[in-house]
Copies of this chain bind each other. A is one copy, B any other.
Amino acid sequence: MATNGKDIARLIAVCRDRHGIIAALAGGLADAGANIVSSNQHSTKAEDGRFFLRMELHLQDLAAHRTELERSLTQVAQRFDIDWQLLDATRPKRVALFVSRYEHCLLDLLWRWRRDQLAMDLTAVVSNHENLRGAVESYGVPFHHVPVDNHNKAKAEAAQLELLQGQVDLVVLARYMQILSPEFLTRVGAPVINIHHSFLPAFAGAQPYQRAFDRGVKLIGATAHYATAELDDGPIIEQDVMRVTHAHDPHKLEAIGADVERMVLARAVEWHLADRVLIDGNRTVIL
């Protein structure tokens, strides 16, 4: 059972799979006085695969004993060449939301956040339009209007980076309709989650609902993925679909799709915030 309580830390470990990793890590944790509250693991193959682990730990007075715990983990990690992170479950990630004109994903995230369903600090909403300022500010979240057109894209991204750099642990593109440059993705220094309004890899790119209608598909979908330099091609975190019929025109597909989009994005963000999404090349492991 997921836990956000006091003195709870999350251990994420990724490495080449070898004998004895869990025993060594569990031993190291026990030496440091930490108790394993939950543990999930995935190996890509029975032998010679890649190893992915997520543990939730309880350690009385975590803050006071953190150095000791990290020392203990460092020793194990060196032995097994483990790439690891120890995250404090009580320290919410700082998140910026990007949005264009469509409000449905943004409002849904704001609403879930206010209900305490998303453990994050909302540091900023950035938009290339003014229309959602009122809605965002009514939640007490700073709204930044950074206009983007074909001529000022580089300048706009520079302005966005100035707002964000060092200030955020995650950027969520909640139907932000501008393509971010590879340079932006590199320089922003935080993972970027995008929601694409189709069941990827079908209908990557523009106008997915119109193209879904033209192709006559019987289900429409949405995909939350990490943004990478290649458009709509990053690791998929979550997808879902809804049934449609011949009676639905592209406008109705868009309305039905809005419901899929906001639920898929919310699940992806929730899992990322809980450090449950591990990257395995262009795939994700959800632990």
The reply on A284 being an interface residue by CB < 8 A is: yes
Q: Which residues of B contact A2 (CB under 8 A)?
A: 247
Which of A31-39, A62-70, A151-159 contacts the other chain?
A31-39
Q: Which of A122-179 contact B (CB under 8 A)?
A: 138
Nearest chain B CB to A172 CB, angstrom units: 18
Bound CA span A46–B30, Å: 17
Taking a contact as CB atoms under 8 Å apart, the answer to whether B247 and A235 are in contact is no
The reply on A23 being an interface residue by CB < 8 A is: yes
Bound CA span A56–B3, Å: 25
Bound CA span A58–B107, Å: 38
Q: Which residues of B contact A46 (CB under 8 A)?
A: 1, 3, 5, 8, 37, 58
Taking a contact as CB atoms under 8 Å apart, the answer to whether B202 and A216 are in contact is no
Taking a contact as CB atoms under 8 Å apart, the answer to whether A1 and B39 are in contact is no
Taking a contact as CB atoms under 8 Å apart, the answer to whether A39 and B36 are in contact is no
Taking a contact as CB atoms under 8 Å apart, the answer to whether A215 and B282 are in contact is yes
Taking a contact as CB atoms under 8 Å apart, the answer to whether B263 and A259 are in contact is yes
Nearest chain B CB to A110 CB, angstrom units: 11
Nearest chain B residue, comparing its CB with the CB of A47: B58
User: Which listed residue (B36, B245, B263) contacts A22, Cβ 8 A?
Assistant: B36
The reply on A44 being an interface residue by CB < 8 A is: yes
Taking a contact as CB atoms under 8 Å apart, the answer to whether A283 and B19 are in contact is no
The reply on A27 being an interface residue by CB < 8 A is: yes
Interface centre among A21, A37, A117 (most CB of B within 10 A): A37
Q: Which residues of B contact A199 (CB under 8 A)?
A: 199, 202, 219
| CB-CB under 8 A for A241 and B219, given A23-B30, A27-B26, A199-B202 | yes
Give me the 7 closest cross-chain CB pairs, A-B, nearest first.
A216-B283, A23-B30, A23-B26, A19-B35, A202-B202, A26-B26, A246-B285
Q: List 28 A-B contacts (CB under 8 A).
A: A1-B249, A2-B247, A3-B46, A5-B46, A19-B35, A21-B36, A22-B22, A22-B39, A23-B30, A24-B30, A37-B43, A42-B247, A115-B255, A138-B138, A199-B202, A200-B202, A201-B202, A201-B217, A215-B236, A216-B236, A216-B282, A216-B283, A217-B236, A218-B237, A218-B238, A219-B239, A243-B243, A246-B284
Please list the residues of chain A having a beta carbon within 8 angstroms of any beta carbon in chain B: 1-3, 5, 8, 19-24, 26-27, 29-30, 35-46, 49, 58, 107, 111, 115, 117, 138, 199-203, 214-219, 221, 235-241, 243, 245-247, 249, 255, 259, 263, 280, 282-286
Q: Given contacts A23-B36, A199-B202, A246-B284, list 18 more A-B pairs with CB under 8 A.
A: A2-B247, A3-B46, A8-B46, A19-B58, A21-B36, A23-B27, A37-B43, A39-B40, A39-B41, A40-B40, A42-B246, A138-B138, A200-B215, A200-B217, A201-B202, A214-B283, A215-B282, A217-B239
